[in-house]
């Protein structure tokens, strides 16, 4: 899934101005702090926080009651499911909410596992987060199916297409593949993998958790059967959602207990779904929908403002196609901004010889602004990632270190034993000055270590 660079006029100031709309970011700049840990989770936009507060304070109720709190909550829930359908480009009944991507994947694996038999195989990649590996590993083991792993090329962390071809065959039942790596930021050839899975009659399960804040998701274009993402990575609350293709949503044996209906969700059945059990996280879901509206507003703020002043709550189909069009334009702006951030980081880091960037270093459109780095000390030995990370954090660069559950990838790259990498990951609320600050800090740490070595 390549990032779309469209023709919307880009203005860097937009991304400077929106920072104040993220309450948690306020005051950080004044304290000399650069928050660059976006791949672990974004900060929430104020509208998402507000939507959660409103849900809890104005209509806190279960759905299905005959009083206004309950019907207002059902309206909001319906609106949120439609919004998420527009976000993913699917029907509202194809949207499943859950507590986390990991939990949704594991839940789905319980159902898909019932359709597997001996001699079947399941394919995962060495690029993926454990959330899109572990459930399938367990499922395959329980069903007596074989688990195969698609290899990753060392030099750029792209998927090895020979390995893709040799893993997927007529006995493949499911192929799980990442849409973007949370460790090295590569955007792999997921479209080809999905097409190959389909050509062999296998299901495809796409993890778009890392991609979602960076590029527009389009499940129809991708042609996948499942796609998962988590609003806490795209400016909303801790929650997850899944696209589950309608035919499968109806036909797969649901692994469920009461209270969960046998239906797909609709307004008339109070949004009851055979894939969602018990009472839903209404306030989180409202916050997630607001996060999507925020992203859409980046390109269409004025249009939205007009709608609000007209009191248009939720225009049905034109509203949703307008939302989708605004999202497309917004992601185009985000892409242009993030490409600048990536370019600045990648070109700047070249002048700090002690720093190595793992993963793609050339094509900034085939990656997100997430960088896995290592630094060598004056003795030529790698500095343990947690030590480098501590130095950066002491200097106000808030990032993290480790393998970030992309264990197969750190092992493939030979980094696992040494403690993984330091991950510096930007989001659209980061600006070029943040990148420069990170580069200065890396340079300073590298020079300080060399100077210290000389005096020893
Ligand atoms: C690429 C990727 N997939 C899956 C997950 C797991 O998502 P969740 O925390 O919603 O379970 C993460 C979390 O960081 C991730 O980065």
pLDDT value at residue 309: 55
Nearest to 354 by CA among 271, 249, 444: 444
Is the pLDDT at 301 greater than 70, yes or no? no
Q: What is the spatial distance between Cα 337 and Cα 344, in angstroms, rounded to a whole number?
A: 11
Spatial distance between the Cα atoms of 109 and 399, rounded to a whole number of angstroms: 32
Distance from the alpha carbon of residue 101 to the mean position of ligand 1, in angstroms: 6
pLDDT at 315 over 50: no
* Phi, psi for residue 273 in degrees, rounded to 5: -135, 140
How confident is the prediction for the chain on average, in pLDDT?
93
Residue 104 CA: which ligand 1 atom is closest? 11
- Cα separation, 412 vs 437, whole angstroms: 31
Topology given in CATH for the domain delimited by 68-285: 3.40.640
Q: What is the pLDDT of residue 305?
A: 46
Res. 3: pLDDT tops 80: no
Beta partners for 371?
424
Write the CA distances from 138 to 118, 191, 224, 254, 348, integer angstroms. 14, 25, 22, 18, 43
Q: Which pairs with CB-CB distance under 8 Å and at least 24 residues apart come from 87-90?
A: 87/217, 87/292, 87/327, 88/217, 88/218, 88/219, 88/227, 88/229, 88/241, 88/243, 89/217, 89/218, 89/219, 89/220, 89/221, 89/324, 90/219, 90/220, 90/243, 90/245
**Residue ranges of domains in the chain:** 68-285
Q: What spatial distance separates the first Cα and last Cα of the chain, rounded to whole Å?
A: 50
Question: In this model, does residue 317 exceed pLDDT 60?
Answer: no
Cβ distance 274 to 331 under 8 Å?
no
Closest ligand 1 atom to Cα of 232: 10
pLDDT, mean of residues 75-94: 97
- Whose Cα sits closest to atom 7 in ligand 1? 101
pLDDT of residue 257: 80
Query: What ligand 1 atom has the least distance to the C-alpha of 40?
Result: 14
Res 446 pLDDT > 70: yes
CB 360 within 8 A of CB 157: yes
Q: Is 230 in the pocket of ligand 1 (CB under 6 A)?
A: yes
Ligand 1 neighbour 222 (Cβ under 6 A): no
Q: What are the tens digits of pLDDT across the range 108-165?
A: 999 999 999 989 999 999 999 999 999 999 999 999 999 999 999 999 999 999 999 9
Is residue 318 over pLDDT 70?
no
Alpha helices in 225-316 (DSSP H): 246-251, 282-310
- The predicted-structure confidence for 383-409, as pLDDT tens digits, reads as follows 999 999 999 999 999 999 999 999 999
What atom in ligand 1 is closest to the CA of residue 404? Answer: 14
CB distance 207 to ligand 1 below 6 Å: yes
Q: Is the dihedral of CA 387, 214, 43, 132 positive or negative?
A: negative
- Please state the φ and ψ torsions of residue 81, each to the nearest 5 degrees: -65, -40
Q: Is the CB of residue 181 less than 8 Å from the CB of residue 406?
A: yes
Residue 2 confidence (pLDDT): 45
Question: Is the CB–ligand 1 distance for residue 209 below 6 Å?
Answer: yes
Which residue of 99, 101, 128, 231 sits with most ligand 1 atoms within 8 Å of its CB, as the best mutation to test the pocket? 101
Structure confidence by residue, pLDDT tens digits, 407-436? 999 999 999 999 999 999 999 999 999 999
Residue percentage of the chain with pLDDT more than 70: 93
What is the per-residue pLDDT across 212-260, written as a single tens digit (0 to 9) for each? 999 999 999 999 999 999 999 999 999 999 999 999 999 999 998 887 7
Predicted local confidence at residue 8, as pLDDT? 67
Please report the DSSP string for 403-451 in residue order.
Answer: -TT-HHHHHHTT-TTTT-EEEEE--TT--HHHHHHHHHHHHHHHHHHHH
| CB of 99 sitting under 6 A from ligand 1 | no
The per-residue pLDDT for 271 is 94
CB of 108 within 6 A of ligand 1: the answer is no
State the average pLDDT over residues 69-74.
96
The CA angle 107-203-154, to the nearest 5 degrees, is 95
pLDDT at 313: 46
Q: In terms of DSSP H, where are the helices of 116-239?
A: 134-143, 161-167, 190-199, 219-222
Tens of pLDDT along 160-187? 999 999 999 999 999 999 999 999 999 9
Closest CA to 15 of 216, 232, 298, 342: 298
Q: How far is the CA of 410 from the centre of ligand 1 (A)?
A: 16
Strand partners, 174: 122, 203
Distance 235 CA to ligand 1 centre (A): 14
Q: Is 94 in the pocket of ligand 1 (CB under 6 A)?
A: no
How does DSSP classify residue 18?
G
Beta carbons within 10 angstroms of residue 282's beta carbon? 23
d(CA 225, CA 231): 20
Which atom of ligand 1 lies closest to the CA of 230?
Answer: 10
**Nearest atom within ligand 1 for CA of residue 128:** 1
Q: Which two tokens stand for residue 304?
A: 């939205």
Q: Which of 176, 179, 182, 212 to mutate to test the pocket of ligand 1 (most atoms within 8 A of CB)?
A: 182
Query: Kindly report the CA angle at 123 between 119 and 129, in degrees rounded to 5?
Result: 145
Question: Has residue 6 got a pLDDT over 60?
Answer: no
Q: How far apart are CA 208 and CA 180, in angstroms?
A: 7
Residue 308 has pLDDT above 70, yes or no: no
Cβ atoms within 10 Å of 184's Cβ, excluding its own:
28
């Amino acid at each position: 899934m390549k990032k779309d660079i469209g023709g919307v006029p880009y203005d860097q100031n937009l991304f400077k101005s929106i920072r104040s709309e993220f309450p948690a970011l306020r005051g950080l700049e004044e304290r000399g702090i650069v928050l660059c840990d976006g791949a672990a989770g974004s900060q929430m936009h104020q509208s998402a926080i507000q939507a959660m507060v409103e849900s809890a304070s104005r209509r806190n109720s279960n759905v299905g009651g005959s009083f206004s709190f309950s019907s207002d909550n059902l309206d909001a829930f319906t609106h949120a499911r439609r919004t998420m359908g527009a976000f993913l480009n699917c029907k509202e009944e194809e949207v499943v909410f859950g507590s986390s991507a990991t939990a949704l994947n594991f839940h789905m694996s319980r159902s898909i596992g019932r359709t597997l038999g001996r001699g079947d195989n399941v394919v995962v990649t060495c690029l993926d987060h454990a959330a899109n590996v572990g459930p399938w590993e367990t499922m395959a083991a329980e069903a007596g199916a074989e688990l195969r792993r698609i290899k990753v090329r060392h030099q750029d962390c792209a998927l090895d297409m020979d390995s893709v071809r040799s893993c997927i065959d007529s006995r493949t039942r499911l192929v799980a593949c990442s849409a973007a790596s949370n460790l090295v930021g590569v955007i792999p050839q997921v479209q080809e993998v999905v097409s190959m899975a389909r050509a062999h009659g296998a299901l495809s399960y796409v993890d778009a958790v890392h991609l979602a804040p960076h590029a527009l998701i389009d499940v129809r274009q991708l042609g996948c059967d499942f796609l998962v993402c988590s609003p806490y990575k795209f400016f909303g609350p801790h929650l997850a959602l899944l696209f589950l293709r309608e035919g499968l949503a109806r036909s797969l044996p649901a692994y469920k207990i009461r209270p969960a209906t046998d239906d797909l969700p609709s307004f008339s059945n109070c949004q009851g779904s055979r894939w969602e059990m018990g009472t839903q996280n209404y306030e989180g879901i409202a916050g997630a929908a607001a996060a999507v509206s925020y992203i859409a507003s980046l390109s269409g703020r004025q249009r939205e403002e007009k709608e609000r002043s007209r009191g248009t709550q939720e225009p049905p189909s034109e509203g949703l196609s307008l939302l989708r069009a605004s999202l497309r334009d917004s992601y185009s702006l985000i892409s242009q901004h993030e490409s600048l951030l990536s370019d600045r980081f990648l070109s700047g880091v070249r002048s700090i010889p002690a720093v190595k960037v793992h993963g793609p270093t050339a094509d900034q459109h085939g990656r997100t602004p997430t960088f896995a780095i290592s630094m060598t000390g004056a003795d030529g030995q790698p500095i343990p990632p947690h030590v480098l990370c501590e130095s950066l954090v002491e200097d106000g660069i808030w990032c993290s270190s480790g393998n970030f559950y992309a264990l197969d990838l750190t092992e493939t790259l030979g980094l696992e034993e040494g403690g993984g990498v330091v991950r510096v990951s930007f989001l659209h609320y980061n600006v070029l000055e943040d990148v420069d600050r990170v580069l200065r800090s890396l340079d300073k740490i590298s020079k300080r270590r060399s100077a210290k070595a000389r005096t020893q």
